[in-house]
């Protein structure tokens, strides 16, 4: 069985607003659980079940791999910057700072609706991104 670096070094949780008409419940699940072919999550408010098909599980799997690559790059993130051009020059923003200040989400079309899946990543250590 392959090593699951994300669960070993921190948790990645996903949530989205329930798609049921009139419900505003927040459905939550672990990104690592998406690799299971029979995963089903329930809305805590209306109890609507959600089952993820192969295509959606594949997309979540790619998102998990992206997280693993970023974790592997942690030792060099302090040396990486994103340059933003502004009038009068450019501003360098440390990449590690971006990871702590930007919200990550995956927007997908499911059942004829656009749904934002929000990603919440627990750092692998208390010193991550400091």
Structural domain contains residue 98: no
**Higher per-residue pLDDT: 102 or 95:** 95
Which is it for strands 113-121 and 104-110: parallel, antiparallel or unpaired?
antiparallel
Mean pLDDT of the chain: 80
Which range has the top average pLDDT, 65-69, 101-105, 110-114?
65-69
For residue 113, what are the domain limits? 5-76+103-121
Structural domain contains residue 83: no
Residues 6+ apart with CB under 8 A from 9: 71, 124, 125
- Count of domains observed in the chain: 1
Structural domain contains residue 55: yes
Whole-number pLDDT of residue 123: 57
- In whole angstroms, give the CA distance from residue 125 to residue 97: 15
Structural domain contains residue 90: no
Structural domain contains residue 112: yes
Structural domain contains residue 27: yes
Structural domain contains residue 35: yes
pLDDT tops 90 at residue 7: no
Structural domain contains residue 71: yes
| pLDDT tens digits, one per residue of 50-94 | 988 888 888 888 888 888 888 888 888 878 888 989 999 999 988
Query: DSSP letter string over 59-97?
Result: HHHHHHHHHHHHHHTHHHHTT-EEEEEETTEEEEEEHHH
Say if CB 18 and CB 29 are below 8 A apart. no
| Polymer length of the chain | 130
- In whole angstroms, give the CA distance from residue 98 to residue 67: 14
Closest CA to 9 of 99, 96, 125, 97: 125
């Amino acid at each position: 069985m392959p090593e699951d670096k994300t669960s070993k070094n921190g948790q990645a949780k996903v949530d989205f607003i329930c798609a049921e008409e009139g419900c505003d419940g927040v459905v939550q699940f672990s990104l690592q659980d998406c690799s299971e072919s029979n995963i089903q999550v329930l809305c805590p408010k209306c109890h609507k079940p959600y089952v993820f098909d192969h295509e959606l599980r594949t997309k979540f799997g790619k998102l998990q791999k992206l997280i693993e690559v970023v974790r592997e790059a942690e030792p060099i993130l302090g040396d990486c910057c994103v340059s933003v051009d502004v009038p009068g020059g450019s501003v360098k923003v440390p990449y590690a700072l971006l990871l702590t200040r930007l919200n990550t989400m995956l927007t997908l079309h499911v059942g004829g609706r656009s749904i934002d899946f929000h990603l919440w990543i627990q750092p692998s250590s208390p010193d991550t991104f400091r």
